[in-house]
Amino acid sequence: MTSPVDSSVLDLAPVLPVVVLSDPSDAVPLARALVAGGLPAIEVTLRTPAALDAIRAIAAEVPEAVVGAGTVITPGQVAECGAAGARFLVSPGWTDGLLAAMSASGLPYLPGVSTASEVVALLERGVREMKFFPAEAAGGTAYLRSLAGPLPQARFCPTGGIGAGNAGEYLALANVGCVGGSWMVPGDAVAARDWGRVEELARAAAGLRDAGAGCR
Protein backbone atom coordinates (compact mmCIF):
# COMPACT_ATOMS: atom_id res chain seq x y z
CA MET A 1 0.00 0.00 0.00
CA THR A 2 1.23 3.47 -0.85
CA SER A 3 2.22 5.61 2.12
CA PRO A 4 -0.20 8.38 3.07
CA VAL A 5 0.50 12.06 2.63
CA ASP A 6 2.70 13.75 5.21
CA SER A 7 0.37 16.69 5.81
CA SER A 8 -3.36 17.26 5.73
CA VAL A 9 -5.04 16.75 2.37
CA LEU A 10 -6.76 20.08 3.02
CA ASP A 11 -3.44 21.88 3.01
CA LEU A 12 -1.87 20.51 -0.18
CA ALA A 13 -3.49 23.06 -2.51
CA PRO A 14 -6.46 25.44 -2.50
CA VAL A 15 -8.32 23.29 -5.01
CA LEU A 16 -8.69 19.53 -5.16
CA PRO A 17 -9.42 18.55 -8.78
CA VAL A 18 -12.24 16.03 -9.03
CA VAL A 19 -11.39 13.86 -12.01
CA VAL A 20 -13.68 11.44 -13.88
CA LEU A 21 -11.84 9.38 -16.48
CA SER A 22 -13.21 6.96 -19.02
CA ASP A 23 -9.84 6.16 -20.62
CA PRO A 24 -7.01 5.27 -18.22
CA SER A 25 -4.45 6.32 -20.84
CA ASP A 26 -5.46 9.93 -20.15
CA ALA A 27 -4.56 9.66 -16.47
CA VAL A 28 -0.82 10.32 -16.64
CA PRO A 29 -0.82 13.33 -19.01
CA LEU A 30 -3.78 14.82 -17.15
CA ALA A 31 -2.04 14.42 -13.80
CA ARG A 32 1.15 15.95 -15.17
CA ALA A 33 -0.79 18.96 -16.45
CA LEU A 34 -2.49 19.47 -13.07
CA VAL A 35 0.80 19.20 -11.19
CA ALA A 36 2.51 21.60 -13.60
CA GLY A 37 -0.31 24.07 -12.95
CA GLY A 38 0.21 23.88 -9.20
CA LEU A 39 -2.42 21.34 -8.15
CA PRO A 40 -0.57 18.23 -6.91
CA ALA A 41 -3.51 16.61 -5.09
CA ILE A 42 -5.86 14.80 -7.49
CA GLU A 43 -9.09 13.00 -6.62
CA VAL A 44 -9.94 10.29 -9.16
CA THR A 45 -13.56 9.33 -8.61
CA LEU A 46 -14.76 5.74 -8.72
CA ARG A 47 -17.53 6.62 -11.16
CA THR A 48 -16.08 4.73 -14.12
CA PRO A 49 -14.51 1.30 -14.63
CA ALA A 50 -11.25 3.07 -15.56
CA ALA A 51 -10.80 4.71 -12.15
CA LEU A 52 -8.60 2.13 -10.43
CA ASP A 53 -6.36 1.76 -13.49
CA ALA A 54 -6.06 5.55 -13.61
CA ILE A 55 -5.03 5.67 -9.96
CA ARG A 56 -2.45 2.94 -10.55
CA ALA A 57 -0.98 4.78 -13.51
CA ILE A 58 -0.72 8.13 -11.72
CA ALA A 59 0.77 6.53 -8.60
CA ALA A 60 3.38 4.71 -10.68
CA GLU A 61 4.30 7.37 -13.24
CA VAL A 62 3.64 10.77 -11.65
CA PRO A 63 5.42 10.63 -8.27
CA GLU A 64 5.02 14.36 -7.73
CA ALA A 65 1.23 13.94 -7.72
CA VAL A 66 -0.72 13.00 -4.61
CA VAL A 67 -3.44 10.82 -6.07
CA GLY A 68 -6.52 9.91 -4.09
CA ALA A 69 -9.78 8.10 -4.67
CA GLY A 70 -13.19 9.73 -4.54
CA THR A 71 -16.77 8.45 -4.38
CA VAL A 72 -15.59 5.72 -2.02
CA ILE A 73 -18.76 4.21 -0.56
CA THR A 74 -17.92 0.63 0.53
CA PRO A 75 -15.25 -1.00 2.69
CA GLY A 76 -14.30 -3.14 -0.30
CA GLN A 77 -13.52 -0.05 -2.33
CA VAL A 78 -11.29 1.22 0.47
CA ALA A 79 -9.10 -1.87 0.13
CA GLU A 80 -9.07 -1.72 -3.67
CA CYS A 81 -8.08 1.94 -3.70
CA GLY A 82 -5.27 1.40 -1.22
CA ALA A 83 -3.94 -1.49 -3.27
CA ALA A 84 -4.07 0.65 -6.42
CA GLY A 85 -1.86 3.30 -4.83
CA ALA A 86 -4.36 5.89 -3.60
CA ARG A 87 -2.84 8.15 -0.96
CA PHE A 88 -6.11 9.50 0.42
CA LEU A 89 -9.82 8.67 0.32
CA VAL A 90 -12.90 10.84 -0.15
CA SER A 91 -16.51 9.75 0.34
CA PRO A 92 -19.78 11.58 -0.38
CA GLY A 93 -21.16 10.37 2.95
CA TRP A 94 -20.36 7.84 5.65
CA THR A 95 -21.56 4.93 7.73
CA ASP A 96 -19.90 3.38 10.75
CA GLY A 97 -18.69 0.49 8.60
CA LEU A 98 -17.19 2.72 5.93
CA LEU A 99 -15.62 4.98 8.53
CA ALA A 100 -14.02 2.00 10.27
CA ALA A 101 -12.58 0.73 6.98
CA MET A 102 -11.18 4.11 6.04
CA SER A 103 -9.62 4.53 9.47
CA ALA A 104 -8.10 1.04 9.37
CA SER A 105 -6.56 1.72 5.94
CA GLY A 106 -4.02 4.10 7.45
CA LEU A 107 -4.76 6.62 4.70
CA PRO A 108 -6.05 10.15 5.27
CA TYR A 109 -9.75 10.36 4.51
CA LEU A 110 -12.47 12.96 4.11
CA PRO A 111 -15.91 11.56 4.95
CA GLY A 112 -18.81 13.51 3.49
CA VAL A 113 -21.25 15.52 5.60
CA SER A 114 -24.11 17.88 4.88
CA THR A 115 -25.66 18.48 8.32
CA ALA A 116 -24.54 19.72 11.72
CA SER A 117 -25.51 16.39 13.29
CA GLU A 118 -23.20 14.51 10.92
CA VAL A 119 -20.36 16.88 11.78
CA VAL A 120 -20.94 16.37 15.52
CA ALA A 121 -21.05 12.60 15.05
CA LEU A 122 -17.68 12.64 13.27
CA LEU A 123 -16.13 14.94 15.87
CA GLU A 124 -17.31 12.48 18.52
CA ARG A 125 -15.37 9.78 16.66
CA GLY A 126 -12.22 11.90 16.48
CA VAL A 127 -12.58 12.99 12.85
CA ARG A 128 -11.97 16.71 12.33
CA GLU A 129 -11.49 16.97 8.55
CA MET A 130 -14.48 16.37 6.28
CA LYS A 131 -15.94 16.83 2.84
CA PHE A 132 -18.97 19.15 2.77
CA PHE A 133 -21.22 17.77 0.04
CA PRO A 134 -23.21 18.78 -1.92
CA ALA A 135 -21.92 22.19 -0.94
CA GLU A 136 -24.15 24.58 -2.85
CA ALA A 137 -27.31 22.49 -2.44
CA ALA A 138 -26.63 21.98 1.28
CA GLY A 139 -26.41 25.67 2.12
CA GLY A 140 -23.13 26.88 0.66
CA THR A 141 -20.93 29.45 2.33
CA ALA A 142 -23.72 30.68 4.62
CA TYR A 143 -24.12 27.21 6.12
CA LEU A 144 -20.39 26.71 6.60
CA ARG A 145 -20.08 30.13 8.20
CA SER A 146 -22.85 29.18 10.63
CA LEU A 147 -21.04 25.96 11.57
CA ALA A 148 -17.81 27.78 12.40
CA GLY A 149 -19.16 29.29 15.62
CA PRO A 150 -20.35 26.18 17.49
CA LEU A 151 -18.01 23.72 15.73
CA PRO A 152 -14.72 25.57 15.11
CA GLN A 153 -12.66 22.37 15.34
CA ALA A 154 -14.15 21.00 12.11
CA ARG A 155 -12.42 21.76 8.79
CA PHE A 156 -13.94 21.17 5.39
CA CYS A 157 -13.35 20.57 1.72
CA PRO A 158 -16.61 21.76 0.14
CA THR A 159 -17.50 20.06 -3.14
CA GLY A 160 -20.56 20.22 -5.35
CA GLY A 161 -21.60 23.22 -7.39
CA ILE A 162 -18.27 24.99 -6.92
CA GLY A 163 -16.50 26.61 -9.84
CA ALA A 164 -14.06 29.38 -10.65
CA GLY A 165 -16.72 32.00 -9.96
CA ASN A 166 -17.48 31.07 -6.35
CA ALA A 167 -14.46 29.07 -5.14
CA GLY A 168 -12.86 32.17 -3.65
CA GLU A 169 -15.90 32.79 -1.45
CA TYR A 170 -15.48 29.36 0.10
CA LEU A 171 -11.72 29.70 0.50
CA ALA A 172 -12.26 32.95 2.42
CA LEU A 173 -13.93 30.97 5.23
CA ALA A 174 -11.78 30.09 8.23
CA ASN A 175 -13.10 26.51 8.41
CA VAL A 176 -12.42 25.72 4.74
CA GLY A 177 -9.02 24.25 3.91
CA CYS A 178 -9.61 23.67 0.21
CA VAL A 179 -12.44 23.21 -2.26
CA GLY A 180 -13.14 20.39 -4.67
CA GLY A 181 -14.23 20.87 -8.25
CA SER A 182 -13.84 19.82 -11.85
CA TRP A 183 -13.78 23.13 -13.70
CA MET A 184 -10.05 22.84 -14.40
CA VAL A 185 -10.62 19.46 -16.10
CA PRO A 186 -13.54 20.23 -18.45
CA GLY A 187 -14.83 17.30 -20.42
CA ASP A 188 -14.13 18.84 -23.80
CA ALA A 189 -10.49 19.52 -22.92
CA VAL A 190 -9.99 15.96 -21.70
CA ALA A 191 -11.71 14.55 -24.79
CA ALA A 192 -9.44 16.67 -27.01
CA ARG A 193 -6.42 15.83 -24.85
CA ASP A 194 -5.75 19.54 -24.57
CA TRP A 195 -3.40 19.26 -21.62
CA GLY A 196 -2.12 22.78 -22.13
CA ARG A 197 -5.58 24.15 -21.43
CA VAL A 198 -5.86 21.95 -18.34
CA GLU A 199 -2.54 23.30 -17.08
CA GLU A 200 -3.68 26.90 -17.61
CA LEU A 201 -6.94 26.31 -15.75
CA ALA A 202 -5.07 24.53 -12.96
CA ARG A 203 -2.65 27.44 -12.60
CA ALA A 204 -5.54 29.88 -12.26
CA ALA A 205 -7.17 27.63 -9.66
CA ALA A 206 -3.92 27.32 -7.70
CA GLY A 207 -3.79 31.10 -7.45
CA LEU A 208 -7.07 31.12 -5.54
CA ARG A 209 -5.22 30.34 -2.30
CA ASP A 210 -3.85 33.88 -2.09
CA ALA A 211 -7.18 35.38 -3.12
CA GLY A 212 -9.03 33.43 -0.45
CA ALA A 213 -6.45 34.07 2.28
CA GLY A 214 -6.67 37.78 1.66
CA CYS A 215 -10.35 37.77 2.61
CA ARG A 216 -10.09 35.81 5.84
Active-site residues, by number, are 43, 131
Q: Which amino acid is at 198?
A: V
Count of C-beta atoms within a 10 Å radius of residue 32: 18
Whether the Cβ atoms of residue 89 and residue 110 lie closer than 8 Å to each other? yes
Q: Which amino acid is at 151?
A: L
Count of C-beta atoms within a 10 Å radius of residue 197: 17
Q: What are phi and psi of 42, to 5 degrees?
A: -135, 125
Number of H helices, E strands in the chain: 10, 9
Task: Give residue 211's Cα distance to chain centre.
Answer: 20
Helix or strand (DSSP H, E) at 199: helix 195-206
Task: Give residue 169's Cα distance to chain centre.
Answer: 17
